[in-house]
């Protein structure tokens, strides 16, 4: 499958350990993100920066979790003056704990938009809300339903 706005081939699989980020996602934005360790990021070097959607699974203490929908940002968080590339996954499910040290498997199945520089944090928050609506709508499409059952998650 290929997306018309982005020449990346999907699905794109990667996995890695959840590491500490800047701690802004949950506090400032209201959208907590699991940041993936930089070793795994090398696998993403050739992948265009941007906002993506797909599925992920969180494996904690060796226990496989459920496959959950997610949105992901890949790039520099220019809004906050960061210059290093990060991959951050926001899981579309409410959790009451953080994921530090957990192993996250990710299957990226589509591209949403480019990373942007917004005029305010409020505009970024609004954009993320919209990304989530786009992701949910895409993932409801029958032609994408098989990705939840991907053998990658078996």
Which of 88, 126, 138, 143 is labelled catalytic? 88
54 belongs to the binding site for Mg ion (CB under 5 A): no
Q: Using CB under 5 A, which residues numbered 15 to 44 contact Mg ion? A: 21, 25, 33, 35
Q: Using CB under 6 A, which residues numbered 62 to 121 contact ligand RBF? A: 71, 73, 77-80, 88, 90, 115-116
User: Rounded to whole angstroms, how far apart are CA atoms 7 and 123?
Assistant: 27
What distances in angstroms separate CA 100 from CA 33, 54, 72, one per listed residue? 11, 21, 17
51 belongs to the binding site for ligand RBF (CB under 6 A): yes
User: Rounded to whole angstroms, how far apart are CA atoms 4 and 43?
Assistant: 22
88 belongs to the catalytic site: yes
Token pair of 39 as six digits = 């070793």
User: Rounded to whole angstroms, how far apart are CA atoms 67 and 56?
Assistant: 6
Which residues is 51 bridged to in the sheet?
73, 113
Q: How far is the CB of 128 from ligand RBF (least distance, A)?
A: 5
Report the interface residues with ligand RBF, using CB under 6 A.
21-22, 24-25, 29, 31, 33, 51, 71, 73, 77-80, 88, 90, 115-116, 124, 127-128, 131
């Amino acid at each position: 499958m290929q997306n018309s706005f982005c020449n990346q081939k999907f699905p794109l699989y990667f996995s890695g350990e959840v590491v500490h980020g800047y701690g802004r996602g949950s506090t400032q934005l209201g959208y907590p993100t699991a940041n993936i360790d930089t070793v795994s990021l090398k696998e993403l070097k050739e992948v265009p920066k941007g906002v993506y959607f797909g599925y992920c699974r969180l494996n904690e203490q060796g226990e496989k979790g459920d496959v959950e929908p997610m949105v992901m940002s890949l790039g520099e968080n220019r809004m906050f003056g960061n210059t290093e590339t990060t991959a951050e996954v926001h899981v579309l499910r409410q959790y009451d704990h953080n994921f530090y040290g957990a192993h996250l498997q990710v299957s990226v199945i589509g591209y949403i938009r480019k990373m942007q520089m917004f005029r305010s944090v409020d505009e970024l928050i609004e954009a993320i809300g919209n990304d989530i609506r786009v992701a949910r709508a895409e993932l409801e499409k029958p032609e994408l339903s098989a990705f939840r059952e991907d053998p990658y998650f078996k």
